[in-house]
Structure 1
Amino acid sequence: MGFDIRPISHIFAIIEGKMKNNPKKREIAVAAFELFDKKGFHGTGINEIIEAAGIPKGTFYHYYNSKEEVALEVLSYYREKITLAMDVILCDYSKDPLDRIFSLYAQYIESYIKKSEMPYSNFASKMSQEAGEEHPRIKDQANNVFFDIRESISECIKEAQGFGIIDLSFDSRMLAEMIIYCWEGALLRMRGTQSVEPLFIFEDIMKNLFLNARSKM
């Protein structure tokens, strides 16, 4: 089942649906999302969001009390998009569980190849790193995206263990976290090298990881 899994592909559609009767608030959320991704949370000022959204300052404060409130709402939409995108692939029970995980990342990689500049790819990770202890609610909301991804992949690994594909001695959550950490690292290297080669290296490492974890039964 092929589809564009990039978070940007439907994140604005989700915002549109949630705020279809509130175009001003929608413009604020969209502008904030783009600015947070490009400049970071701390690098983005409320005045920049207001200017990008094309609304008066009073309109911003009618809907939000702070920049943090906008960030929390945007992260909730991002989380919803990620969950919907993953479920399409990871809940496709016509495939074996490991093939579903491989398909998930294969389609991510395909999306990167089709578009040389990949915006919004690790939005939650960047927001979590920036938030630190100063903005615990943002950090928690961003980390929830990670937890959702981990649990979805972990469930596939557990299913594979139930089928005797993966050795039961391996912790499914630890394997899932290892995959996510490797993927995040590959994204950083891709941005640094301006090449998709790190993503293919990740794909090989992931498959070898599961090969080594296969059941000896």
Structure 2
Amino acid sequence: MAHVSGNTDTRQGILDTAHRIVGAKGFSGVGLNEILAAAGVPKGSFYHYFGSKEAFGEALLTGYFEDYLADIDATLAEPGLSEAERLMNYWRKWQATQGSIDYQRKCLAVKLAAEVSDLSEPMRLALKAGTAGIIDRVARAIEAGAGDGSLRVEGTPREVAETLYHLWLGASLMAKIERTDAPFEAAMAATRRILNLQPA
């Protein structure tokens, strides 16, 4: 019998492998056998770690957002910068990861939102909670930036954060369709206008 830590490591290994594969192919386009083979886990053991493919998808999204939110927290707490500079660094990192062909770092919210929201209520709720966490953090940064004078917005920080998140989500989808960085460049310019920042 495997130790609990071994079980935890194997479960996390499956999720890490799945993030890379699902990031490239989507959720429905990937069979469990492909993920298990890539993770080096026997085919018959999947249900030892996850109750169903849906539960696995929920765990995949929950873990993804835990890591993503920790990264945002680090970016928005970077010392020696104004709140506006920290926020713009966050959008630059978004563009760098979403514009890259490195699927391992692709945003699962962008990749899976349209695909799974109608298929799985638990996965939709995991997406909803994760994206709400992102918007909350952006709203707090906007509020702090208005306080330190590094940016200025019309509307509440929450409204502006939601608008910016929707803008960047749309830009990510359009960049996939167009296969250019032009949607990100337009989103960056619009973000600077919305935050009343000077051109870079």
TM > 0.5 between the two?
yes
Q: Deviations over 1:9-54 (max 9, x none)?
A: xxxxxxxxxx963443233222322232222222222233233333
* Alignment partner, residue 91 of structure 2: 105
The answer to whether residue 182 in structure 2 is matched with residue 197 in structure 1 is yes
Give the percent of matched residue pairs that are identical in Structure 1 and Structure 2: 24
The answer to whether residue 24 in structure 2 is matched with residue 38 in structure 1 is yes
1:101, distance to aligned residue in structure 2 (A): 0.7
Q: Deviations over 1:135-169 (max 9, x none)?
A: 111111112221111011100111233345525x5
- Partners of 1:39 and 1:58 in 2: CA distance: 23
1:84, distance to aligned residue in structure 2 (A): 1.4
Query: In structure 2, do the counterparts of structure 1 residues 41 and 108 end up closer, same or farther at CA, with 3 Å as the change threshold?
Result: closer
The match for 2:14 among 28, 32, 38 is 28
- Partners of 2:97 and 2:122 in 1: CA distance: 31
* Alignment partner, residue 209 of structure 1: 194
Query: In structure 2, do the counterparts of structure 1 residues 207 and 49 end up closer, same or farther at CA, with 3 Å as the change threshold?
Result: same
- Partners of 1:95 and 1:55 in 2: CA distance: 45
- Partners of 2:176 and 2:113 in 1: CA distance: 18
- Partners of 1:107 and 1:126 in 2: CA distance: 17
Letter in 1 for 2:164: I
Segments of 5+ residues of structure 1 without an aligned counterpart are 1-18, 213-217
Query: In structure 2, do the counterparts of structure 1 residues 106 and 46 end up closer, same or farther at CA, with 3 Å as the change threshold?
Result: closer
- Partners of 1:112 and 1:65 in 2: CA distance: 31
1:91, distance to aligned residue in structure 2 (A): 2.1
With normalisation by structure 1, the TM-score equals 0.76
Indicate if the aligned counterparts of 1:154 and 1:176 stay in contact, CA closer than 8 A.
yes
Segments of 5+ residues of structure 2 without an aligned counterpart are none
- Partners of 1:128 and 1:96 in 2: CA distance: 32
RMSD: 2.5
- Partners of 2:5 and 2:101 in 1: CA distance: 29
The answer to whether residue 120 in structure 2 is matched with residue 117 in structure 1 is no
* Alignment partner, residue 73 of structure 1: 59
